[in-house]
Amino acid sequence: MGGGVTIMMVAMMMVLAISGLNASKHRAGPSAAQCHNEKQLAVNACSSVLQGGRPSAQCCRRVRVTHAKCICPDVTPELVRAVGGIARAVRLITSCGRKVPHHFKCGSVTTP
């Protein structure tokens, strides 16, 4: 896999991380194997976003169920820049019907 594709995959994970903010607050967290699977499902479902497009219905469903615990460890400022900035990430998430809390810390990034 090329470097650009890898960056975009991780960028999409950042979008999903912010979107899964509250997913794990109400039940036990996922195992490492489940997290790995969630990341793979997210990347596959959200390929349109990885190519600069809007999220598909399948991607939005994945955005709503992905656990922040699985994605947030991979979030860095560089990753946020790769996805087009925090404002774009928040817009993508809200377009999927998910609210993004203010001042949520995910990895080394905090939402506005």
C-beta of residue 91 within 8 angstroms of C-beta of residue 17: no
Residue 48 Cα distances to 51, 77, 108, angstroms: 5, 22, 25
Please tell me the total count of domains within the chain.
1
Cα–Cα distance between 93 and 17 in angstroms, integer?
10
pLDDT given for residue 24 in this prediction: 46
Q: Render pLDDT for 5-23 as a digit per residue (tens, 0 to 9).
A: 455 556 666 666 666 555 4
- Domain coverage including residue 17: 3-110
Mean pLDDT of 101-110: 87
Mean pLDDT computed over every residue of the chain: 79
Query: Between 2 and 16, whose confidence is greater?
Result: 16
Calculate mean pLDDT across residues 91-96.
Answer: 88
pTM of this structure: 0.71
Tally helices (H) and strands (E) across the chain.
7, 2
